[in-house]
Amino acid sequence: MVSSARQLSALIGGKTEPVEVTRRRGMRRLVLRVAEDHLRISCPYGVSEQEILSFVYSREAWILDTRRRQERESRINQEGETGGVIYWLGEPERVVLRSGERQPAYVDGGQIFFQLSEPSPKQVQAAFRALARQKLQELITGEREQWDLRICQASGLPLPQIALRYMTSRWGVCHLRTNQITLSTRLIHYPECGLQAVLLHEYAHLLVPRHDARFYAVVHRFMPDYEERIRVLKV
Ligand SMILES: [Zn+2]
């Protein structure tokens, strides 16, 4: 339950960062998140502003690291400037903008084409995301069959729904209660083995909810080179 928010600021790496503080009932510790242009703290009631700031400062190196990673990622995900590059399944595709409406976006021979009536960044992004979804759906359909069979049917479990969502903090989530796996559309930027590893990871949660030794035993049994595949996502 969210009850109050208030803004502080901290000097991180020589730059002033706004810190949004949200106090929640029932929280035991401070949680720090690095958002695009500010920091976010969730904490229990009764933690002073000074304690919050010293917590933030104790994480300065991590914050700077996270920012660097975010910057690298935003370069990878750069969407929509002529001459720019979008990574598509691990391959850099040069962006070509054209006018026309026949096919809003497609990938061909090292280039990604956008044909839009008005190639604004927003339209390009929408066209890109639609194309990414379509491709990911296709890959997932091909890939899930073996896990439906070997994991679900072999254990008498119902087949999960698989949804796609633009998520920045996770590659995949498995909601056991609703029997739904959600994958991040950002997987489109990385080699296909990344998607394969995340999909298996989430299917393995249908058998073992937690990340314990049993979980990884399942993962490695079904995908002996899991670590190698998932590594492509650690940019
Ligand atoms: Zn997991």
Mean pLDDT of all residues in the chain? Answer: 89
Continuous H helices in the chain: 49-58, 60-76, 121-147, 154-155, 192-207, 213-222, 226-230
Encoding tokens for residue 145? 């069959």
CATH number for the domain harbouring residue 139: 3.30.2010.10
Picking from 91, 44, 48, the residue whose alpha carbon sits closest to that of residue 192 is 91
Among 128, 156, 171, residue at a domain's last position: 128
Whole-number Å distance, alpha carbon 122 to ligand 1 midpoint, is: 32
Kindly report the backbone phi and psi dihedral angles of residue 184, in degrees, each rounded to the nearest multiple of 5, phi listed first.
-80, 135
Whole-number Å distance, alpha carbon 25 to ligand 1 midpoint, is: 26
Sheet holding 180-184, edge to edge: 161-165, 180-184, 172-175
More confident residue, 71 or 156: 156
- Indicate whether 20 pLDDT > 60: yes
Whole-number Å distance, alpha carbon 165 to ligand 1 midpoint, is: 17
79-103: pLDDT as tens digits: 555 668 889 999 989 888 887 767 8
Range of the domain at 109: 77-128
pTM, two decimals, is 0.68
DSSP letter for 157, please. P
Whole-number Å distance, alpha carbon 229 to ligand 1 midpoint, is: 15
What's the structural domain count of the chain? 3
Confidence of residue 3 (pLDDT cuts 50, 70, 90): very low
Whole-number Å distance, alpha carbon 51 to ligand 1 midpoint, is: 32
219 and 145 belong to one structural domain: yes
